[in-house]
Amino acid sequence: MTQLAWSLLLVLLSVNTLGWADSGETCVIITGLGGMPEYEENFEKWGNSVETICRDELKALVHRLDGRTQRRTDVLSVFETTAADQNQTVWLFLIGHGTFDGRDYKFNIKGPDLTGNDLVNFFDALGSARMRAVVATSSSGGLIEELSGPNRVVMTATRSERERRPPLFMSFFIEGAGAAEADVNKDGKVSLQEVFTFSEQKLATWYEDRERIQTEHPVLDDSSHQASLAYLSAPPEQAYRSLEARNLAPGRQELERSIEDLKLRKGDLPLAEYYEQLEKLLVELAALNERIRQLEGEE
């Protein structure tokens, strides 16, 4: 087998590629290391949700990489393969833990980290391809200046490299991608601009309601003015038959987000308090889910 054939085979084996699509859209989704299982549970959950959006809404070719087992060389191989076709729209999602050492951004994965320079090289290699990047990590704001450019929309979970706390931003982003409330202009589609506005506002309210200092401030760089035309999804049709179940649904989402938030704060709490709060939330969520199933007539 030739060296080129081996390289192509390794790329295919190193990623979970979910079907080939002719939509002209490619999504690269990378979830990273978290340092503790609770963080990685969030990253995996959010990555799965983004994967569903890319597959079902964008009808995209999806490359999903798991930074717990896959390495920088695997990521760079996917970058190289993706950059070979510049007649497309590329979506990049980084979901995990980021750091900034004063010189370069790093996305934590197994082995050597993926670096800000790696991302710059990937963006440059894409040439004229349309690029939409969502960097949902701590310290991600340090990438804005480096990644900004023509045909690029860049969204980060933080406004600077100094915001180092694990962000909850991706939870709101995913909610906005499927929320009728986010469709401000009522055109039946949710754009990247609308998702950003929805997430930014909801995130600020979340911290205010809990009287907590806001440790993350998302940023949208849209120098090419494309975010309002970059559509992620259509708001779902009403999923509930029962009006009461419909009214309970936001409470379920609120409980799920509280659990996600608690997991990101585990290191700040005594273990006994953490597990006490977690148990309480899980019991409440289970009871609410059961009530919704009863109202919907589910077994």
Average pLDDT over residues 14-26: 57
Distance, CA of 161 to CA of 174 (rounded, Å): 23
Confidence at residue 73, expressed as pLDDT on a 0 to 100 scale: 97
Maximum alpha-carbon separation in the chain = 62
Q: Above 80 in pLDDT, residue 2?
A: no
List pLDDT tens digits, range 72-112. 999 999 999 999 988 899 999 999 999 998 889 999 999 99
Percentage of the chain surpassing pLDDT 70?
90
Confidence at residue 10, expressed as pLDDT on a 0 to 100 scale: 39
pLDDT bucket at 19, cuts 50 / 70 / 90: very low
Q: The whole model's pTM is what?
A: 0.86
What is the residue-averaged pLDDT of the chain?
Answer: 88
SS (H, E, C) 205-231: HHHHHCCCCCCCCCEEECCCCCHHHCE
List pLDDT tens digits, range 224-248. 899 999 998 876 655 667 788 878 8
Confidence at residue 182, expressed as pLDDT on a 0 to 100 scale: 93
Structure tokens that stand for 192 in this block: 């990247």
Q: Above 90 in pLDDT, residue 277?
A: yes
